[in-house]
Structure 1
């Protein structure tokens, strides 16, 4: 018996050593097979330190059934009273996803130590049960158990309230954990999410900072839209602190460069990433480089980075696709999308948003509907960004009713979707519906919403509605605080014909910029006050604002419609002196100005001598044609102008109408008939001009060439209203001629 007992004891020791050695080497199957061999030999294993190893092996292998069997045998033999066995079995159940068994084992433990509490709290937090994990952490603190570093880090990362974060920060300081870098960095991350003002203060108080500390603060600056401070801290990190950046740091810095559109710094960071080996090793860095180059308007470099990327993911494809769209290279964006299909890359909601921008540019209604089908089929209907982009694309393609259907189908109509719908309705000439959508909004409007509302109100030419929208801006605290809103208010009043109110509103803008000055100049131009437009233009320059291309277009338009030929030509000449290269619109405006003044030959000479990169458009030729209509001219110039206009815009009705007018002035009725036949053959939709008269709360619309279906009395009433409108002052009278 003694020899048999000694043999079993030596075999048990050998198998126990084998199990421990297999655990050290990470050979988990050998651990379980060694334990099974002990069981088959009928040897009573009395070493409690072996059981945690066996449970760990079962957890690593995800062998839940084997672990349960081992646990059952230990309970039968009374080993469950050991704290180490209870901890290891609870940890095993947690790692295998059997949380109920883990909690039951924890509850059954007669004695617990700090390891027990750490295991249960860590397990819950690590598996995404934040509320339960934080509750058990609070309970363990009441009972006096201390967390370990790993658990404390998870607790800090799981906090959602800044107040709870401050409490944990106080506990960290009292408990002496503040010297541990991982804990400090976790607190930094926590403040970056909920209290950005405390991030830099805590960072400055840290005695030792590693690359994670620097990266967290740089990222917080970028996330709160202070990229300049983020880049400044990055330079301090590299040059003064001599801390080597990692992939996360480089990704944050590249995002800052993208926001600032600073491609020069972005290239320097690209060079740094190449030297550090991040360029090819990390897909996040590659995607950030694509995004940075795209937003810096160097999409060719972005494509080179994409083309050299071997480990592409859907973000890579979306980044380059969005890059082509951002740089208005829509045909190449379509090619990239077709290439995605060949590579078997399935489009997601981000891809669809970029595609909708392409459809919006090309004004293609059927692709919009196809994308809408994909949105429904893939269940993206809860994605507000995708639906807002769909609304925007539909309205751009003149499918306003479809856009409204999308908005009405949304469960939650956020401020972005409503703002997009308001803008689309206003663009489509349906301002009353746009105002109705605003009135139905549940979210508080932001500055974009108010700007779109003002645009809609200006289209109605109803002064009361514009004043109401102005009141909305005041109540929201956006008037006199947001220059974009203030500028839109000025524009709305100008389009309602109340130039005095527009000027008063403009004078109340605390800090004016080139856009606000351009709007007031344009306001004077459209209200037939070219002299005041020129005075405002000079005043703008005296105050140190440099006019841009749009400003020059506004003042040239004022000179054009005011017949100020000499001043217009002088301002056009000053564009070259101020190093502002005129565009086609500027040349077209000068051509129109000369044509209106009867200088048809001079206008033609200007068209013939345009720079090589500027091609005369339909508007320039149309101006010449309009001048020929008003003044008798030999048939060579009108014929050339007609041919150019109809070739450039074959589906636009204005060219045909102008041509007909010219032929009619020459009494060339055969050519008039030819123009009418072309309109029918080409199915050109003739859009007639109209005027509106606002009488009380009723808007009367008079379409050119329309026959009024009204009785003589009703027609007389309208005529009397018009006469009364002409006698009353515009700013005070109940009638407004639009």
Structure 2
């Protein structure tokens, strides 16, 4: 009796010790205490101790010890208790042995609410969303009511699988079961709706009786991600001023992103000041990075750098953000300096860093660094990163390495719409429209607006009207020629560059929305097609409709005056540009100089060049306009060594300056100077680029270079002559019909 009493008191002491260690979270002591009971030869019969022991094994991930303890309990028949079976299944789930957990569940003779929740929660917690939702549906059939934690994970699984229909069903179940009054459940549903249906998310948010900082942050973030930053900022103001809810770092990150999207520095600085007052700007690296991004996109990269410089907890995102800021603000020299500093601080570049460096290479048009970065991409295994490869293609094409860009595209296992669009744009930019169209025809994905714009650019380079009509048809079939201003403007531009001014005007008139770029393109279209009066009429109509011309619009109008010989009108437009606070650029001054020179006002043009503002320096094209005017008006102007010297100094490797000077000297019969120009071309190894004309013969656009000779047989030559004669006859008949 005394021995039995002693063992009981000893067992109670051990059990008390185990329970106390569990309360304090000392899980090692829990397992050690249970093992001491076994070593003492005492049989623990308290079923409430075993769940604590298995919980400790799960916390410590001691799979082997837990298995041994389960084996001893199995022999003694304790697994018939639901609490013990549940703790064993939960232990296996915590240790990642899902099969053993499900096997334990299947062997349980008595299951309760906890049993089902352990399986569903464990599967979802380990990322097995589909299996977890299947078990959840099975538990509902058996009449099991889930707990709050399980429900939160079930909603998260619906979000991960984008199974929003199932999510709506679970929402209905929660309303019927009374779970929707719980804040964590409401916030989970709110997160789900914010990703698929913003109006439903806002409706649920408005119906919530209690909103915490998570609720506000979710809806603000959803507005920003849905490209409605103004509504996000309005809600933030309501959160702070009316609801008196203190924002956290997540809220501030979304609000700063809204300011970045709007490029609103004034609001951004106010938000920055607010975050300083609340002590949120120094404690969280995400807020610091968002501040860098906001200032960069607001074109205040100096403030962005100050934030970066004051950040003590920098990560790779911080470095990438400031690099992107310098690139976005076209301060690529400082971007390179930041990259060097990044290397000194032993921060390893990632794929985003390489993308930023490729943008720098594109800006400087440096082919060799592009190849170096390509090597780094291969070495670090970023070849599967579509963003990095698309940026590499873009950089290669900008550096005139179109073949290398094509090699990168061919190496991609999956050619997405971005990479194909970039390649099409690159071919178009490099004067290879047929290759660009070939890439488009090989695309597997549906083209987006950027793709169609690049395709239209290629068609305009080819000057093939039929191809432009084909691209126009694609834009219509894809529904991109309805409300997309950029696509519609590109259609107008393509027709204009093909010489189809009537089709360009019709496409312009059919545009439901027009902006300053659209008006500029159609004005320029009339100007380049020799219709200056109509171009200027559109310029005036644009202003009457309330559209403010920008610098490019003024340049298009001045170009129309220039080619139409409308000197007085051109000077009036230039004067109105200055009066409307539009600072003239070098291109505008060059256009005026060219206009005056063409009209024989050489002295006035020379005087204008000499009176240019200090920050505007005349380029080779400006001085070239003077030379060209002197050639046409020899009696009104004299060629001086000053003009020729300026041109050759500004563009020593450009053939056009030498050819123009030689032409003017020849017109003056100054043959010694002509010989000198030719000698300089040879000595400086200047590559002479020949002019060319394009004639559409059938479906082929033939290019004829100046000085070319054709190696054709008599029959082929006759066919070409007859084809050209037919084209000219048709054009003449069409012109006669219009006149009569």
Give yes or no for TM over 0.5.
Answer: yes
567-576 vs 659-668, greater mean Cα deviation: 659-668
* Number of the residue aligned with 1:426: 428
TM-score, normalised via structure 1 length:
0.96
The SS at the match of 2:111 is: coil
Judge conservation of contact 1:51–1:85 (CA < 8 Å) in 2: yes
1:284-299 superposed matches below 5 A: 284-299=286-301
1:597 alignment partner, one of 586, 599, 602: 599
C-alpha contact 1:214 1:237 (8 A) present in aligned 2:
yes
CA offset at residue 681 of structure 1?
4.5
**Deviations, residues 209-229 of structure 1 (Å, cap 9, x unaligned):** 111111111111111111111
Q: Is the 8 A contact 2:417 2:446 kept in 1?
A: yes
- Counterpart in the other structure of 2:415: 413
Aligned to 2:268: 266
Task: Give how far 1:328 is off.
Answer: 0.7
Contact 1:279 1:285 in 2 (8 A): yes
Instruction: Give the alignment of 1:44-123 within 5 angstroms.
Output: 44-123=43-122
1:85 Cα deviation (Å)? 1.5
Q: What SS does the aligned partner of 2:42 have?
A: coil
Please report how far the alpha carbon of residue 712 of structure 1 lies from its aligned counterpart in structure 2 after TM superposition: 6.0
Contact 1:651 1:684 in 2 (8 A): yes
How many angstroms apart in 1 are the aligned matches of 2:581 and 2:516? 16
Aligned counterpart, 2:359: 357
- For the aligned residue pairs, the C-alpha RMSD in angstroms reads 2.0
* Structure 1 stretch displaced more, 454-463 or 318-327: 454-463
Question: C-alpha distance in 2, partners of 1:53/1:670?
Answer: 106
Say yes or no: does 1:161 pair with 2:163. yes
CA deviations 1:398-434 (Å, max 9, x no partner) are 1111111222222222211111111111110011111
**Match of residue 369 from structure 2:** 367
Residue 680 of structure 1, CA deviation: 4.0
Contact (CA 8 Å) 1:418, 1:438: kept in 2 or not?
Answer: yes
Supply the distance in 2 between the matched residues of 1:731 and 1:691 (Cα, whole angstroms): 22
Q: Deviations over 1:288-310 (max 9, x none)?
A: 11111111111111111111111
> Is the 1:89–1:102 Cα contact (8 Å) retained in structure 2?
yes
Quote the residue 1:736 is aligned against. none
CA–CA separation in structure 2 for the residues paired with 1:87 and 1:81: 10
Q: Deviations over 1:169-204 (max 9, x none)?
A: 110001000110110110010111222221111111
Partner of 1:36: 35
User: Does structure 2 conserve the Cα–Cα contact (< 8 Å) formed by 1:161 and 1:194?
Assistant: no
How far apart in 2 are the matches of 1:598 and 1:732?
35
Instruction: Return the alpha-carbon distance in structure 2 between the equivalents of residues 204 and 186 of structure 1.
Output: 15
In 1, are the aligned partners of 2:397 and 2:430 still within 8 Å (CA)? Answer: yes
The Cα of 1:532 is off from its aligned counterpart by 1.0
2 CA distance for matches of 1:48 and 1:340?
59
SS at 1:477's partner residue?
Answer: coil
Report the Cα offset of residue 148 of structure 1. 0.6
Which residue of structure 1 lines up, in the alignment, with residue 234 of structure 2? Answer: 232
- What secondary structure is seen at the aligned counterpart in 1 of 2:694? strand
Cα distance 1:3–1:642, how it changes in 2: closer, same or farther (>3 A)?
farther
1:523-550, Cα deviation, whole Å (9 max, x unpaired): 1100011111111111111111111111
Q: Report what 1:152 is aligned to.
A: 151
Structure 1, unaligned runs of 5 or more = 734-738
- Aligned-pair CA distance for 1:724: 4.3
Distance 1:635 1:591 in 2: 14
CA shift at 1:252, angstroms? 0.8
Q: Is the 8 A contact 2:600 2:636 kept in 1?
A: no
Change (3 A) 1:679 1:74: farther
In 2: Cα distance, 1:606 partner to 1:635 partner: 15
Report the 3-state secondary structure (helix = DSSP H, G, I; strand = E; otherwise coil) of the residue aligned with 1:685. Answer: coil
Q: Contact 1:125–1:158 at 8 Å: present in 2 too?
A: yes
Secondary structure at 1:43 match in 2? coil
| Structure 2: distance between partners of 1:718 and 1:621 | 40
- The 5 Å alignment of 1:566-577 reads 566-577=568-579
Instruction: Rate the CA distance shift 1:730–1:132 in 2: closer, same or farther, 3 A.
Output: farther
Q: 2:589 matched to which residue of 1?
A: 587
**2:690 counterpart of 1:688:** yes
Specify the alignment match of 2:256 in structure 1: 254
Superposition deviation, residue 568 in structure 1: 0.6
Q: Structure 1 residues 686 and 21 mapped into 2: Cα distance closer, same or farther (>3 Å)?
A: same
The aligned counterpart of 2:738 is none
CA 1:72–1:647 in structure 2 vs 1: closer, same or farther (change >3 Å)? farther
Task: Output the CA distance in 2 between the equivalents of 1:479 and 1:500.
Answer: 18
Contact 1:388–1:417, Cα closer than 8 Å, also in 2: yes
Residues 129-172 of structure 1: CA deviation (Å, up to 9, x unaligned):
11111111111111011111011001011102121011001100
Q: How does 1:644-655 map to 2 (within 5 A)?
A: 644-655=646-657
Per-residue CA distance 1:443-474 (angstroms, 9 max, x = gap):
11112111111111111111111111111111
2:313 corresponds, among 287, 311, 314, to 311
**SS at structure 2 position matched to 1:693:** strand
Partner in structure 2 of residue 475 of structure 1:
477
Q: Mind listing any 5+ residue stretches in structure 2 that lack a counterpart? A: 736-740
Could you say what secondary structure the match of 2:443 adopts?
coil
Task: Show the counterpart of 1:557.
Answer: 559
- Per-residue CA deviations over 1:460-496 (Å, capped at 9, x if unaligned) read 1111111111111111122242222221111111111
Partner of 1:701, secondary structure, is strand
Equivalent residue for 1:453?
455
Contact 1:628 1:638 in 2 (8 A): no
Alignment CA distance shift 1:5-1:517 (3 Å): same
Q: Aligned runs of 1:472-621 on 2, under 5 Å? A: 472-621=474-623
CA contact (8 A) 1:114 1:145 kept: yes
CA contact (8 A) 2:594 2:625 kept: yes
Aligned residue pairs, count: 732
User: Once structures 1 and 2 are overlaid, which stretch shifts more, 546-555 or 65-74?
Assistant: 65-74
The separation in 2 between residues aligned to 1:676 and 1:340, in whole angstroms, is 50
TM-score by length of 2: 0.95
Q: Which moved more, 1:628-637 or 1:147-156?
A: 628-637
Secondary structure of the 2:314 match is coil
Distance 1:303 1:637, change over 3 A: farther
Secondary structure of 2:348 counterpart: coil
Report the alpha carbon displacement of residue 723 of structure 1 after superposing the two structures with TM. 4.6
Rounded to whole Å, the distance in 1 between the matches of 2:129 and 2:5 is 52
Deviation, 1:716, is 5.7
Residues 1-22 of structure 1 deviation map (CA, whole Å, 9 limit, x = unaligned): x333222222222222222212
Give me the whole-angstrom Cα distance separating, in 2, the residues matched to 1:527 and 1:107: 82
- Superposition deviation, residue 714 in structure 1: 4.9
CA distance in 1, matches of 2:483, 2:636: 57
- Pairing 1:629-668 to 2, within 5 Å after superposition: 629-632=631-634, 638-668=640-670
What's 1:399 paired with?
Answer: 401
Report if the CA contact (8 A) 1:498-1:731 is conserved. Answer: no
CA distance in 1, matches of 2:548, 2:637: 44
**Within 1, Cα distance between the matches of 2:277 and 2:672?**
75
Query: What is the Cα deviation at residue 647 of structure 1?
Result: 2.9
Partner of 1:8: 7
Q: Is 2:636 the counterpart of 1:627?
A: no
Q: Is the 8 A contact 1:625 1:638 kept in 2?
A: no
Q: 1:683 to 1:88 in 2, by over 3 A?
A: farther
Distance 1:245 1:375 in 2: 40
8 Å CA contact retained: 2:462, 2:701: no
Cα gap change, 1:559/1:58 in structure 2, threshold over 3 Å: closer, same or farther? same
